[in-house]
Structure 1
Amino acid sequence: MKEKTISENTSIELMERIASALEMICEKLTGIEGKIEDLTYEIQSHGSAMNECLEVVAQAYEQDGFGLGESGQDLPFSVEGQTEGGCGGGGCGSGGCHN
């Protein structure tokens, strides 16, 4: 079987194309990494705000003379599903928590 060879110019052109494609992939991955970091920050900040809101609600409920069972079972509402949408722009204390 006859072996096929490519010219040096063709080889250089192919390597340049591969290098260009790899560079483009790296740029795309860097952009994706930045978006993941932004989303991670958003998730963490909203989670923190929701936890603060739930703590304020639990403390207010406790101050009214009602005890809290483990994991908030004695609250007059279900904690799950009540935090959708976050606690408003200003977080707790700004009127952002509405249940």
Structure 2
Amino acid sequence: MQIFLQDSHAYPGCRARLPADPPAGEIDVVLCFADGIEAPGRLAPSADGLRLEIASYRTAAGTSIPRKTWLLRQDDAGWKITARCADLA
């Protein structure tokens, strides 16, 4: 499954495009960033939405991004990243 992000990196407020019905269980995904870079990830349901883990990768501009886990929530406009999971603790 592919997830498309509207930017070259994930952050709270970043929009994400997922299939209409995300799977009910934990699955491997491919993150497709706006700068053309792809990175492996893992998507899992959580009590507050979906948990998205993105492996470390390098943006097209060369910036190294470490592995991070994010919370995705759905609103009227679709899916967006609402928080970094480490920040929720």
TM-score range, shorter chain: under 0.3
Q: Larger RCO: Structure 1 or Structure 2 (Cα < 8 Å, ≥ 6 residues apart)? A: 2
Greater gyration radius: 1
User: TM-score by structure 2 length?
Assistant: 0.25
Task: Say which structure is richer in helix.
Answer: 1
User: TM-score by structure 1 length?
Assistant: 0.24
Task: Say which structure is richer in strand.
Answer: 2
